[in-house]
Amino acid sequence: MIELRFNALKANGQTISGTISAPNFSAGKKKIQELVSKHGLKTKSIEKKSTFIFKVRKGNEKPFSGEQKAFNKLEVTQALTKLGYQVVSVNKKLLDFNMKPPMQEIVSYVKISAELMEQKLPFSEIMTLLQNDLENKALRETLKQINNELKKGADSETVYLKYEGVFGKFTA
């Protein structure tokens, strides 16, 4: 699943922006075009959420690197500056592959979360524990995204179905 942000103009000149999740860029673009034509808008821009690699330093400390998902380079720079870091560099990650995690990892995730639910632990706490405990990067990132969406109040069934490509049809 990819996330797209679009900016459009109303007939009266008012700017409207929104985000859409889609399986790929062309499907997302098609959804946006349908929205735009349905509401009589004019598309200004469409941006895909990408991964950026940044290098920052705080004070005189040694610079360190990290990754951040955002729609553009400016967003990453502003966020890091707001956190009090001096930005050394921000570059778009060239090859951003999301490999499907091994089936064994998914099975252990389901098993552990089921056992923790039986012990009456809150689901948000289970998600946080598993995020920190998992070794597979793809599954860990997916769980972070799922947890963020659930915290925003999204329906759990829809969120898991959105990541059906990662978990498989049965698990989702």
Mean pLDDT of 135-162: 86
Using the 8-state DSSP alphabet, how is residue 99 labeled? P
pLDDT the model gives residue 21? 84
pLDDT in tens, 79-95: 999 999 999 999 999 88
Residue 137's Cα: distance from chain center in Å?
13
pLDDT band at residue 172 using 50, 70 and 90 as cut-offs: low
Question: Bigger pLDDT: 27 or 101?
Answer: 27
Amino acid (one-letter) located at 29: K
Crossing angle of the two packed helices 123-133 and 137-151, in degrees rounded to 10: 160
Side by side, the strands of the sheet bearing 15-22 are 15-22, 2-9, 42-48
Using the 8-state DSSP alphabet, how is residue 31 labeled? H
Domain residue extents for the chain = 2-48, 50-92, 103-167
Ranking 37-46, 62-71, 72-81, 121-130 by mean pLDDT, the lowest is 121-130
pLDDT in tens, 102-120: 888 888 888 998 999 999 9
In degrees and rounded to multiples of 5, residue 85 shows phi and psi of -95, 150
Please give the radius of gyration of the chain, using alpha carbons only, rounded to the nearest integer: 19
| pLDDT beyond 80 at 75 | yes
